[in-house]
Amino acid sequence: MSFTPYVFFSGNCSEAFNRYQEIFGGELQVMKMDDLPEGEEAPPGSEGMVMHAALTVGGELLMGSDNPGDDFAGPRDMVISVSGEDPAEAKRYFDALAEGGEVSMPLQEVFWSPAFGMVTDRFGTPWMVDCEAPAPAA
């Protein structure tokens, strides 16, 4: 079994996923509403919107799409957690996600991690960034 975050956007999914690929690397696949097969109809007003995006980094997967309705309220009461291999990688992720976004907890050492912070990126997606504490010396 696996759990995969699926994030909705209000028309800027393509821009967000291109940015996430810049930050995390990996392979990005994007299917737009305009790419529907003949005979399939997209919701009115969804031209250019993303029907499905998938970013695969190593064995991890982040998916998302645009919400073509007018009732989109953005992600609420959830965050996407990403872990760096070490504090330097966590800092690189954090700084890139914070660019144009809002930091709610600066990246800092906490009792469970040498680097932990929380940020909402410029697309409205909330993130927790950390790295594992090094294993104690034997």
Per CATH, domain 80-131 is 3.30.390.50: no
Same fold, 6-66 and 80-131: yes
If pLDDT is split at 50, 70 and 90, which confidence band does 75 have? confident
Q: Treating both helix axes as pointing N-terminal to C-terminal, what angle do 13-24 and 87-98 enclose, rounded to 10 degrees?
A: 160
- pLDDT tens-digit readout, 11-43: 899 999 999 999 999 999 999 998 888 888 888
Query: Dmax of the chain from CA atoms?
Result: 64
For residue 105, the model assigns a pLDDT of: 98
If pLDDT is split at 50, 70 and 90, which confidence band does 44 have? confident
CATH architecture entry for 6-66: Roll (3.10)
d(CA 74, CA 65): 12
What ranges do the domains of the chain cover? Answer: 6-66, 80-131
If pLDDT is split at 50, 70 and 90, which confidence band does 1 have? low
Q: Over range 66-76, report the average pLDDT.
A: 76
